[in-house]
Structure 1
């Protein structure tokens, strides 16, 4: 552990590894085998073996960080969900929404009418041949969100 810490560079709370880094984080090669350093540091900090069904990840955002306090044992599902949250943006969400809208039977004009109309959900569902639940979801902004204006969906009508 002392050799690992000696090679790291301090950056705030982080210990940044200057050596080899893979998609799984910092590594060293010993006897022609790659060793994941985050697992080694985690085991040293917790004094128990790293869980085999987990992935060593960091919360600080530095892919080369080896600070024991930053290393977390996550499931693959947790890691994927965190990665998706980090890469989500309004522009990306708008592209995905536009792709889905091209395949939809409901036009953008109809969705806008549903958002702004004073008619009941029952009346709108019958008019556009959709379910009342879909009308409620459009009005709540869960579906067919308007990405054309930065002020869309703020509650003002």
Structure 2
């Protein structure tokens, strides 16, 4: 009986650990439907940057861009369904009151990370050839702190 209980606890613990990472399959805190044309004028949304999951403890997340420290929530902060992106570049950036970090999972299942490319310890990712569809975004922090932030999205013709 003890062995069965121990196995059950081990299995539950492993499942819990797997949930403690950014996961695009989880429900986002906010969802938006937009088009590449709408994003020619920058759009923004307020968010609390931060999270409890250290990104490099998460297997399966291998960003195609920068690699650095960052703490993120499990659920995406934002889920965007963006149409008509193929003729644009998509710029995703953060303006915050702390050292924020940005994590994106695109329609093509590619992960992107950035820490400081927007200046002032804020992140910025430019998707040069995005495809229309679902884009999940997490706004975290470099050091695990929490702060007020604003996520910005804007498109530019290629």
Q: Larger relative contact order (C-alpha < 8 A, sep ≥ 6)?
A: 2
Higher helix share: 1
Q: Which has the larger radius of gyration?
A: 1
Q: TM-score, normalised by structure 1?
A: 0.25
Q: Which structure has the highest strand share of the two?
A: 2
